[in-house]
Amino acid sequence: MSPGEARSNRVERAEPALRGVELIDVEKTYRTSTGTRTVVKNCSFRVEPGRFSVMIGPSGAGKSTLIRLIAGFEPPTSGEILAGGKPVRGPGKDRQVMFQETALFPWMTTSENISYGPRARGELIDQVRGSAQALTTRMGLDRFRHLYPAQLSGGMQRRAELARAMMNEPAVMILDEPFRGLDSMTKRLTLEYYAEYSQEAARTNLFVTTDVDEAIFLADRVLVMTGIPTRVRTVVEIDLPRPRRLATIVDDDRASELKAGLLAILHEEAAKAFAAGGKETADFVDAYRRHASPTSSNGELA
């Protein structure tokens, strides 16, 4: 089955407009000790069903805030968020979030973690067991089923967490820099693995990253965000054929072109943020300048 076929099958199952996630003019303002701080403003975009959306933008911008809003952990100050056509009123199993750092339940073994969602909803254990087993095998966690999270390596923890989220068959997977902190080899493997998994059934993803190579490797669409207050600066379609390989993607002409384009926009956003001040942004500008220069663009991920 080619990726294209899978995608069209999936989309036909439901009215496309009703699936995915849509943000309409969302704003989020926090009260601080010194007044208010608007983190997200005039933010509208769609996470298209059956496609892999990657959100990229300066670090310290409101990306994680957007994730919390879409997940329903916090309400927006104004504007509307629709998931599957319905307004988001709180967390729901149609939107599963994977955080930057592990959020496995420390007192549950790998298999208890993976089957938590269905068990918590009181679904029949026998029906659940089969799919839990299949996912565990798929993620290469068979031998670690009875270990606690503290006994797992970072890469295994991430895989267990992916499996736990997938068990709920979410309409959208939301991943907030999920593979940050893994060593570069593990990160590469996990990324390739996750891309393949998402591709096979045209799963809907919203993946947050600050890494341009990662974005180009994974994405069908890249949402480039501005600095604070965050909104979508531009959307870039990534029309590279699949399956893609992380190792070769850096040599691809079209990929380089896309990358240069993305870096130019990101650099501009960072420069704007820099003009507004802040050490974090200065570091960011510096990092991207080095990243963008032709001498060092060897596609390093870490």
Write down the least CB distance from residue 124 to another protein, Å: 15
Q: In the bound complex, what is the minimum distance in angstroms from residue 162's beta carbon to another protein? A: 13
Q: Would the CA dihedral through 201, 202, 203, 207 be positive or negative?
A: positive
Pick between residue 100 and residue 297 the one whose CB is nearest to another protein: 100
CB-facing half-sphere around the CA of 115: CA atoms within 13 A: 20
For the chain, counts of helices (H) and of strands (E): 11, 10
**First and final CA of the chain: distance in angstroms?**
33
Where along the sequence are the contacts to another protein (CB under 8 A)? 71-73, 90-93, 95-97, 99, 103, 105-108, 116-117, 120-121, 143, 147-154, 168
Least distance in angstroms from the C-beta of 155 to another protein? 10
Which amino acid is present at 151? Answer: Q
Q: Which is nearer to another protein, 42 or 186 (CB)?
A: 186
Contact 26, 43 (CB under 8 A): yes
Name the residue nearer to another protein (CB basis): 94 or 211. Answer: 94
Measured from the CB of residue 164, what is the shortest distance to another protein in angstroms?
Answer: 8
Q: How many CB atoms lie within 10 A of CB 98?
A: 21
For another protein, the closer of residues 116 and 256 by Cβ is 116
Is the N-terminal amide bond of 243 cis, ω within 30° of 0? yes
User: Is the Cβ of residue 74 or residue 300 nearer to another protein in the bound state?
Assistant: 74
User: CB 177 → another protein: shortest distance, Å?
Assistant: 14
